[in-house]
Amino acid sequence: MLSPLADRYVAVWNEPDPAARQRVVAELWAEDGAQYTETAENRGREAIEARITGAHDRFVATGAFVFTAADDVVTHHDAVTFTTHMVPAAGGASVWSGTVLLLLDQDGRIRRDYQFTGAAASTRAVVTEFLGRLADGEPDRIAELFADVVDWRLDWPEAGHPAVPWIRPRSTRAEVADHFRELGAVHEKRGGMTPRILVDGRDAVVLGDIRQTVKATGRAYAARCALHLTVDHGVITRYHVYEDSLTVVQAFTG
């Protein structure tokens, strides 16, 4: 069972009402409280509220994710620690996990809030969720796992190829959705061997093959491929694909 503090802490990240969110921040954090991640520092209630609002707008308000807490709360004098997760709203494995360490003042308010991200675990969770959504073939849900701006690279000539119109530069979440939408529109069947995922911190390499049937030609093909993905704060920021492009073109051109 969660402690009241951990329960309220997680709930404020899911709070849709700005006025209620502001009120809870004032109740939970000391006036001079601070919140820290590995890459950011937010001092004062106004900055903390802005940080929570930004996370809510990006992950929760879209209907994609919710924040939860594990049943592992530990207290020690003025310190409280527990694990938080960001999970798909529709259900599924956590795509981001972190350890929260709260230091409280004499009134029980948060004076210091430290978030430690388990990079490797978070990376594997996001990549696993991505592969699951890729298999389901839902472009918009796939794109939800990508950052606003993506380092996107496909192993094709820069000019692309007329037989495969989906091969072109992408950089935004909307363009990512368009890519997978176009890819799905030209294939009848999709499949492949169970991929192998190698994780090193925020980076992952996925090794496998793609097995698909082209609608226009009826040709089936199997192309080996490798993905280099980078996950930062629960979203994919790098998407580099290295694939057997010759086999793909031959399937489309005969």
CATH class, range 121-253: alpha beta
Identify the pLDDT of residue 109: 97
Helix (H) or strand (E) holding 67: strand 65-69
Identify the pLDDT of residue 202: 87
What is the mean predicted confidence (pLDDT) over 186-213?
Answer: 85
CATH class, range 4-117: alpha beta
Spatial distance between the Cα atoms of 30 and 69, rounded to a whole number of angstroms? 22
Give the tens place of pLDDT for each residue, 163-183.
Answer: 887 888 899 999 999 999 998
State the angle between helix axes of 45-55 and 4-14 in degrees (0 to 180), rounded to the nearest 10: 60
State the angle between helix axes of 18-28 and 45-55 in degrees (0 to 180), rounded to the nearest 10: 130
Amino acid at site 138: E
Whether the model pTM is above 0.75: no
Spatial distance between the Cα atoms of 203 and 231, rounded to a whole number of angstroms? 6
Q: Could you tell me which residue, 144 or 190, shows the higher pLDDT? A: 144
Return the bridge partners of 34, or none. Answer: 43, 112
Helices (H), 86-232: 119-136, 139-143, 173-185
pLDDT at residue 204 above 50?
Answer: yes
Q: What angle do CA 133, 141, 49 make, to 5 degrees?
A: 125
pLDDT band at 193 (very low <50, low <70, confident <90, very high): low
Helix (H) or strand (E) holding 64: none
Whether 204 and 196 have beta carbons less than 8 Å apart is answered as no
Give the domain ranges of the chain: 4-117, 121-253
- Rounded to the nearest angstrom, the gap between the alpha carbon of residue 89 and the centroid of all alpha carbons in its chain is 13
Identify the pLDDT of residue 42: 96
Give the tens place of pLDDT for each residue, 15-24.
Answer: 999 999 999 9
pLDDT at residue 105 above 90?
Answer: yes
Domain 4-117 matches domain 121-253 at the CATH topology level: yes
